[in-house]
Amino acid sequence: NAGVTQTPKFRVLKTGQSMTLLCAQDMNHEYMYWYRQDPGMGLRLIHYSVGEGTTAKGEVPDGYNVSRLKKQNFLLGLESAAPSQTSVYFCASSYSPPASEQYFGPGTRLTVT
């Protein structure tokens, strides 16, 4: 099993450009999550999904959109990138909470200039 994979690993964007980050999991998890990690801030939840076709906002959703068209995939989109979105993005998946732990992908380092 590959677990949780993320594409791409690194990306540099110019302000105003758009991009999509792809997350895939092969553990048949219902729940999927997108976090961002900034220095000294820990991980903050951007959006999450409780199942195929569903999405919900997390703590810091502004400037991002998500889609969950297939159970195994969770896409994070930036429509018009801003320097404040420079961060490391982590995808995670889990069985139904609250007890189940989340499994994390390797992260995507995004720089917006």
Would you tell me which residues interact with another protein (CB under 8 A)? 33, 40-45, 48, 50, 56, 58-59, 88, 90, 92, 97-99, 101-107
The CA-atom distances, in angstroms, between 23 and each of 51, 69, 94 are 14, 12, 13
Rounded least distance, CB 36 to another protein, Å: 11
Nearer to another protein, 22 or 45 (CB): 45
Nearer to another protein, 39 or 69 (CB): 39
Residue showing tokens 């896409």: 75
Rounded least distance, CB 71 to another protein, Å: 18
Upstream peptide bond of 39 is cis (omega within 30 degrees of 0): no
Rounded least distance, CB 10 to another protein, Å: 11
Nearer to another protein, 16 or 51 (CB): 51
For residue 60, give the nearest of 36, 41, 38 by alpha carbon: 36
Rounded least distance, CB 97 to another protein, Å: 4
Nearer to another protein, 22 or 88 (CB): 88
